Structure formats: C-alpha cells, structure tokens
Amino acid sequence: MMDIPASVKELIRHAIEEDLGFGDVTSSLIIPDDSVSRALFIAKGNFVLSGFPFAREVFYILDQSVSFNIFNAEGAPVRRGDVLGEVSGKTRSILAGERTSLNILQRLSGIATTTAQYVDAVAGTKAKILDTRKTTPCHRFMEKYSVRMGGGVNHRYGLFDGILIKDNHIEAVGGIKKAVALAKTGHHLARIEVEVENLKELEEALETKADIIMLDNMSIQDMTEAVRLVNSRVALEASGNVNLANVREIAETGVDMISVGALTHSITSADISLKIVR
C-alpha cells in the first residue's frame, strides 16, 4: 500500500466523524458487539478502479483488527459484477466505515474513469492529458492520484511547485515580457509557463524564452497555427473548454499537452456496493 500523507489521514478522520458522530445508533441496537462478518466490494458498473488505499484507511482508523484484501490493481478496468475486494472483522466496524469508504472509492474511481476516457480519446497523438488545480478542497492528493491511475499526468500540485503566469499576473504587472522577466529573477529550478490568449501574445511569449506556453481558449485554427509558428521550439499546452467531444481535434493540432479541469470537477462517481456475505 502507498504511504498516505498525515494530512490526508486527518481528512479521512474528519470524514468518519462527519458520518459516525457520537456512534452508529442503529448498529449498536441491532448488531451484537462480538459479531464478525465478511463483506465484499462489488462493481455495479464498468469503470477504472482507484482509491482502495484510502478506502482501506477508513477501516484502519476505525478498527486496526479489521482485515482488508484487494483483488484488483489500482488503475485496472473492472466490469459490472466484479468483486473488487473484501473486508472482514467486527460487523459494527464494517458498518461504521461502509459509507465513508464507498464515498471515497466511488468518487476516485469516477475520476480515474473520466481520465481514461480522455486518454483513450487522444490515443495515437503525442498529446498528454493533464489535470488542473480545480479539485475538491483538501482532496487534491487523492484526486490527483486518481488522475494518474486513469493514465493522465499531474500538472503542478499547487501554487508552490510550479510557475504558471496567467492572465491576472500579466494584467497586474503590465505585460507578458515583464512578467516572465520577473519570474526569471528568482533562484529556482522550476520551469516557467506563461498563458496566452491569441497569436500576437504567443509571439511575445516566444521572445521571452519561457519553457511552456499555454494556449488558453484558442480556436482549433489558431492552435494549429500556433503549433506551426512554434515549430517545436517550446512545449505547448492547450487549455480551456476541453471536453470529450473536442479533445481529439485539439490533440490533432499537434500540441504537447491538454489540461482538463473536468477530470476532477465534472465527473460521475462509479457505482460500488459493499455487501455482507454469510
């Protein structure tokens, strides 16, 4: 299993507390304290699996005596009816963690599945599918993990680990050239990426010798021309209003990367159940 950061473990603790509160009143009345059970995670649809390390952590936090087995690899495609894993131990502990673990597993599998759809859509081109910072607050580690499980590539994690000069930076300092020049004054090893909205700004950005240029909300025609003008001198990233209907056409312009906010902000969770078996 992966090493889960302390901050994510604490987040999972809060999620458990949110659901469990002062205790599971139903189970405490119905389920004997010494009852033990085995429960199976079952796929109720076709999707790409992601999130078991975090789903397991739910039960580990609740009861370290619970046993947890996983039958499918993270990032593996699964089919409706597949048994994905099992948890066994005190019945009360299983029921206490059921909903929180499923919520995590279903959402993260949904992200991996959506990512895989985008990756498949651009297969055969050189374009890589990237995520963004448009994540659920405090869930970024788990959500970006699931993008990787779906075959995507993580963009910068946050504001601290990558230089991306966007429109508001440019407006605030008075131009692309000035913004990039200021970014180069710092003692850092980070690549400098700058956002442009049209071909005129692209030409200006090229003069700055930035490492990456982001083509923001450009038309297919302009992106195609941008690729021709750049001629592999700098990496190009396409961004803005990307969806499954147009991502292939964007990739075929010849851009190197396509960032897709929808990977984390507009997904449908996978359908998974946890069933106690005798």
Residue 19 CA to residue 211 CA, distance in Å, equals 46
41 and 86 Cβ atoms separated by less than 8 Å: yes
- A 10 A CB-CB count for 222 gives 16
**Torsion sign (Cα): 111, 113, 116, 118:** negative
| CB neighbour list of residue 200: distance below 8 Å, 6 or more residues apart | none
Among all residues, which ones are annotated catalytic? 99, 134, 166, 195, 216
Inter-CA distances, 271 with 16, 48, 185, Å: 20, 11, 50
Residue 236 CA to residue 170 CA, distance in Å, equals 18
Phi, psi (deg, nearest 5) at residue 236: -115, 135
- In terms of Cβ atoms closer than 10 Å to its own Cβ (0-12, 13-18, 19+), residue 107 is buried
Using the structure block, give the residue that is written with the tokens 């690729």: 227
Count Cα atoms within 13 angstroms, Cβ side, for 124.
5
Residue 126 CA to residue 132 CA, distance in Å, equals 19
DSSP H or E stretch at residue 213: strand 212-216
| CB neighbour list of residue 275: distance below 8 Å, 6 or more residues apart | 39, 40, 42
**In the structure encoding, which two tokens stand for residue 206, read together?**
């090229």
